[in-house]
């Protein structure tokens, strides 16, 4: 065989190797995304094949506490790892998908904090009135674990609360700074839910009512009520 032909064959082989290599990588990426077609082609009522897809997420606790501290904010907490990873959302959640709400990650809180409603003494950390503004369960979507989603900086979840429903997402912008957003589904709304539904889901009280009952600063608490 002439040298040129041998070199040509060698090059062709190399090219094919390279091509197969890239095909393999693309196929791996695509396989992770193409279960929709796998499912479309099968009737799982009749085939014993695995249905695949993500495992059904478990329902975990979520709570939002409206907190009239030095500044009014809403503490958004999702149960994970036996504690409540938490974000302080100054303007509170918006059910309008076009509205992004700043959510500053704060320290994890204990699970039993979820039902705390009352007055933190002035001068103490977070001093002021606390209301359980919404409570219920959430289901993690897309990622198998909360840690995985947190690492990616994108926590996708579905809320089943008394006030908030449907798909939501927390997206990290930098450091401890995240954005809380409603995902598009049937539970979106352009209403200002913090104004329209200002009461405690546990006791129906406003902040002023909680402060009055628990010996807090009623006038200061009232500045957080609509």
Which residues sit at the interface with Mn ion, rule CB under 5 A? 67, 75
| CB-count burial class (<10 Å; 0-12, 13-18, 19+) for 178 | buried
Which residue of this chain has its Cβ atom nearest to Mn ion in the complex?
A: 67
Q: How many residues does the chain have?
A: 226
Chain mean position to CA 184: 14
Pick between residue 101 and residue 165 the one whose CB is nearest to Mn ion.
101
CB of residue 124 vs Mn ion: minimum separation in angstroms?
A: 12
CB of residue 141 vs Mn ion: minimum separation in angstroms?
A: 26
Residue of 91, 59, 82 whose CA lies nearest to 157: 59
Other residues' Cβ atoms within 10 Å of the Cβ of residue 25: 10
CB of residue 152 vs Mn ion: minimum separation in angstroms?
A: 26
CB of residue 131 vs Mn ion: minimum separation in angstroms?
A: 11
Pick between residue 84 and residue 208 the one whose CB is nearest to Mn ion.
84
Q: Which two tokens stand for residue 56?
A: 């059904």
Pick between residue 38 and residue 116 the one whose CB is nearest to Mn ion.
116
137 strand-pairing partners: 61, 160
The answer to whether 106 and 75 have CB atoms below 8 angstroms apart is yes
Pick between residue 133 and residue 168 the one whose CB is nearest to Mn ion.
133
């Amino acid at each position: 065989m002439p040298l040129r032909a041998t070199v040509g064959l060698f090059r062709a082989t190399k090219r094919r190797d390279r091509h197969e290599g890239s095909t393999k990588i693309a196929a791996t990426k695509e396989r992770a995304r193409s279960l929709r077609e796998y499912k479309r082609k099968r009737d799982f009522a009749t085939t014993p094949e695995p249905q695949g897809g993500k495992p059904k997420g478990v329902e975990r606790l979520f709570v939002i506490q409206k907190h009239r501290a030095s500044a009014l904010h809403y503490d958004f907490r999702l149960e994970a790892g036996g504690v409540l990873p938490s974000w302080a959302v100054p303007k509170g959640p918006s059910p309008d998908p076009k509205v992004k709400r700043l959510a500053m990650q704060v320290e994890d809180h204990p699970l039993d904090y979820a039902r705390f409603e009352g007055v933190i003494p002035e001068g103490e950390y977070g001093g002021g009135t606390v209301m359980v503004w919404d409570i219920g369960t959430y289901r993690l979507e897309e990622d198998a674990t909360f840690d995985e989603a947190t690492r990616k900086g994108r926590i996708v979840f579905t809320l089943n609360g008394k006030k908030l429903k449907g798909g939501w997402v927390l997206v990290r912008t930098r450091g401890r700074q995240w954005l809380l957003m409603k995902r598009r589904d049937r539970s979106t709304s352009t209403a200002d839910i913090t104004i329209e539904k200002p009461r405690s889901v546990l006791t129906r009280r406003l902040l002023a009512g909680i402060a009055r009952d628990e010996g807090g600063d009623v006038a200061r608490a009232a500045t957080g009520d609509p």
